[in-house]
Amino acid sequence: MDRRTFVGASAGALTWMALPRAVQAEVYAGLRQINDDVTAKNLAGAAVQLSRSDVQALADSLRGPLLLAGNPGYDLARQVLNPAIDRHPALIVQPGGVADISRAVAFAAEQGLVVAVKCGGHSFAGKSTCEGGLQIDLSRFRHVQVDAGKQLAQVSGGSLLGAMDHETMAHGLVTTAGTVSHTGVGGLATGGGFGRLARRFGLALDNIASVDVVTGDGSILYADSEQNPDLYWGVRGAGSNFGVVTRFAFHLHPVQRRVMGGSLTFGPELRRQVLEFYAEHCANFPDELYVDCTSGFTPDKQQPFTSLHLCYSGPAKSYDTVMAPIRGLGKPVRDTVKSIDYVAEQRRYDLTDPRAMVTYVKGGYVSEIPAALVNAILDGLEPDPERYTRVYFQHSGGAIGRVAADATAFPHRYAIANMLPMINYPPTADVPRHVAWLKQYWKTLEPFTHGFYTVEADQQSAAEFNSNYLDNYPRLLAAKRRYDPKNLFRLNANITPEAAGGAV
- DSSP secondary structure code for residue 195 in this structure: B
Distance CA 103, CA 217 (A): 9
Distance CA 339, CA 311 (A): 10
Q: For 64-202, where are the E strands, in sequence order?
A: 66-67, 91-93, 115-118, 134-137, 144-147, 152-156, 173-174
Span 31-140 CATH architecture: 2-Layer Sandwich (3.30)
Q: How many helices and strands in the chain, by DSSP H and E?
A: 16, 22
Q: Does the domain spanning 258-456 belong to CATH 3.40.1190.20?
A: no
Distance CA 109, CA 327 (A): 57
pLDDT given at position 18: 52
Q: Which residues contact 363 (CB under 8 A, 6 or more apart)?
A: 418, 419, 420, 421, 449, 452, 453, 456, 457
Q: How far is CA 384 from CA 23, 268, 304, 325, 437, in A?
A: 53, 16, 11, 33, 11
> How many C-beta atoms lie closer than 10 Å to residue 149's C-beta?
7
Instruction: Determine whether 314 is exposed, middle or buried from the number of CB atoms within 10 Å of its CB (0-12, 13-18, 19+).
Output: middle
Q: How far is CA 308 from CA 282, 293, 299, in A?
A: 11, 5, 17
pLDDT given at position 429: 86
Q: Which three-class secondary structure string do you get for 227-265?
A: CCHHHHHHHHHHHHHCEEEEEEEEECEECCCEEEEEEEE
- 144-254+462-500 adopts what CATH topology? 3.30.465
Q: Report yes or no: 191 and 493 within 8 Å, Cβ to Cβ.
A: yes
Q: List per-residue pLDDT tens for the chain, 504 residues long.
A: 444 434 444 444 444 445 455 444 444 555 579 999 999 999 999 999 999 999 999 999 999 999 999 999 999 999 998 888 899 999 999 999 999 999 999 999 999 999 999 999 888 788 899 999 999 999 999 999 999 999 999 999 999 999 999 999 999 999 999 999 999 999 999 999 999 999 999 999 999 999 999 999 999 999 999 999 999 999 999 989 999 999 999 999 999 999 999 999 999 999 999 999 999 999 999 999 999 999 999 888 899 999 999 999 999 999 999 999 999 999 999 999 999 999 999 999 887 766 666 889 999 999 999 999 999 999 999 999 999 999 999 999 999 999 999 999 999 999 999 999 999 988 888 989 999 999 999 999 999 999 999 988 776 788 899 999 999 999 999 999 999 999 999 999 999 855 444 333
Q: Report yes or no: 61 and 103 within 8 Å, Cβ to Cβ.
A: yes
- DSSP secondary structure code for residue 184 in this structure: B
* 206 three-class SS: helix
CA 66 distance to own-chain centroid? 24
Distance CA 125, CA 127 (A): 6
Q: Which three-class secondary structure string do you get for 143-175?
A: CEEEECCCCEEEEECCCEHHHHHHHHHCCCEEC
Q: Which residues contact 81 (CB under 8 A, 6 or more apart)?
A: 120, 121, 122, 353, 355, 356
Q: Are strands 91-93 and 134-137 parallel, antiparallel or unpaired?
A: parallel
Q: Is 351 left (phi over 0), alpha (psi -120 to 50) or beta?
A: alpha
* 73 three-class SS: coil
**pLDDT tens readout for residues 377-386:** 999 999 999 9
DSSP 474-496: HHHHHHHHHH-TT----SSS---
Distance CA 248, CA 143 (A): 11
Report the C-alpha dihedral over residues 186, 189, 192, 193, rounded to 10 degrees.
Answer: 110
- DSSP secondary structure code for residue 82 in this structure: S
Distance CA 438, CA 138 (A): 33
Count of all residues that appear for the chain in the document: 504
Distance CA 48, CA 439 (A): 36
First to last CA, the chain: 56
Q: Which residues contact 210 (CB under 8 A, 6 or more apart)?
A: 222, 223, 224, 232, 248, 249
DSSP 292-303: EEEEEE-TTT--
> In which element (H, E) is residue 306 found?
strand 304-312
